[in-house]
Amino acid sequence: MIDLRSDTVTQPTPAMWDAMRAASLGDDTLEGDATVQALEALGASRAGKDAALFVVSGTMGNLLASLCYATRGGEAVLDAHAHMAKSEAGGVARIAHLYPVSVPSRYGEMDLNVLADVLRPGFSRYGQPTAMVCVETTHNHSGGYVPSLGYMEQVRGLASHAGIAVHADGARAFNAAVSLGVELAQLAAHCDSITLCLSKGLSAPMGSILAGSHEFIAQARTFRRMVGGGLRQAGIMAAAGVVALESMVERLADDHRRAQRLWQGLADLDATLVDPAPSRSNIVRLRVDKQRTADARAWEHALEQHGVLARASGAGALRLVTHRHIEDADIEHAIDAIARIRAE
Ligand SMILES: Cc1ncc(COP(=O)(O)O)c(C=O)c1O
């Protein structure tokens, strides 16, 4: 099977297995675990932030950030298609008790006029202050689009003018940095805190990094304990994370190249199958709403019959994600499968 459902299906590399076996371990919530500390130091330095915290998932990283910014309540400003708004079980509202305010977005970039309008530096007659503004890069729901650095800078400018923090859901921020041709720290300079996933294209078996100021990370550590994320001999997992940060970032460019080939192959078949431009990261949105069979679930099934796994994303589209286990020949196979299904 050619598994294009997600980059989260990636298995640990042999170097990760070796590092996991050799990791020196401690109790991370007692005296500390040296491997976790090494990962956190590396994560902080890659993100250009003071400090970092190893957490079990991207969702937990985003939740801890929400809890940190929510100490005085208020509103969370998110784009209407944000993963934090749509796919994290409502933790922003249900656990952090922030009122979510959504801003329309296009290809992952919020409408800046609307954003400027909804930001509240303090209490107003009708609402509480904005506790945080969230950006997402790369943007999952829009098909892996990479918000420009100019956009990130403008969001930060608007927020900081109002004294409001910006959190980046950077589950795939390394993909964004590679795609933009910049260091992660250049991108993360436009936010106060950032979540980075190790378990997606970077191939680690689990874990994310939350990075920010010393004070922010100290708070997040306490909130991690509160939500049951205090870890013990977590160095086993952190060891794979160190390998991920040290050796798995540059190869993301291969995933991007293959995703662009997939986009081009589909565009050559029928321009309505894809977005007008490729995302330049590792996700391709297959649009089936203009096809004879317009149901994404039916396409999921048909693709499986042709040896390709993909996931429906809404009623008329599927998400195809390239990653370390996808080769050039797999991309050609997937294009061919889609051509055959259209002809059936
Ligand atoms: C943009 C984005 N943010 C956050 C997450 C959550 O990560 P996790 O599955 O590790 O909780 C995902 C997962 O796919 C994601 O795509």
Class of domain 251-343: alpha beta
pLDDT of residue 72: 85
On the question of pLDDT at 126 being above 90, the answer is no
Helix orientation angle between 296-305 and 328-343, rounded to the nearest 10 degrees = 120
CATH 3.40.640.10 residue ranges of the chain are 10-246
Burial of 292 (0-12, 13-18, 19+ CB in 10 A): exposed
- How far apart CA 172 and CA 298 sit, in angstroms, is 29
Query: CA end-to-end span of the chain, whole Å?
Result: 21
82-86, 97-101, 124-128: least confidently modelled range? 124-128
- How far apart CA 86 and CA 90 sit, in angstroms, is 7
pLDDT tens digits, one per residue of 79-98: 999 999 999 999 999 999 99
| 140 C-beta closer than 6 A to ligand 1 | yes
Among 134, 140, 142, 136, smallest CA distance to 106 is for 142
pLDDT of residue 160: 97
Classify domain 10-246 at the CATH topology level.
Answer: Aspartate Aminotransferase; domain 2 (3.40.640)
Task: Return the residue matching tokens 């970077």.
Answer: 202
Taking the CA atoms of the chain, what radius of gyration do you get in angstroms? Answer: 20
pLDDT of residue 197: 98
pLDDT tens digits, one per residue of 171-186: 999 999 999 999 999 9
Cα of 35 to ligand 1 centre, how many Å?
Answer: 24
On the question of pLDDT at 314 being above 90, the answer is no
Stretch 225-244: mean pLDDT: 97
| 171 C-beta closer than 6 A to ligand 1 | yes
Cα of 186 to ligand 1 centre, how many Å?
Answer: 22
CATH 3.90.1150.10 residue ranges of the chain are 251-343
Give me the helices (H) in the chain, please.
14-22, 34-47, 58-69, 83-86, 91-94, 112-118, 149-161, 173-180, 184-188, 214-226, 235-247, 252-269, 296-305, 328-343
Cα of 162 to ligand 1 centre, how many Å?
Answer: 28
Stretch 167-171: mean pLDDT: 98
User: Which is it for the CA torsion 65, 320, 278, 286, positive or negative?
Assistant: negative
Rounded to two decimals, the pTM is: 0.97
- How far apart CA 265 and CA 259 sit, in angstroms, is 10
pLDDT of residue 110: 98
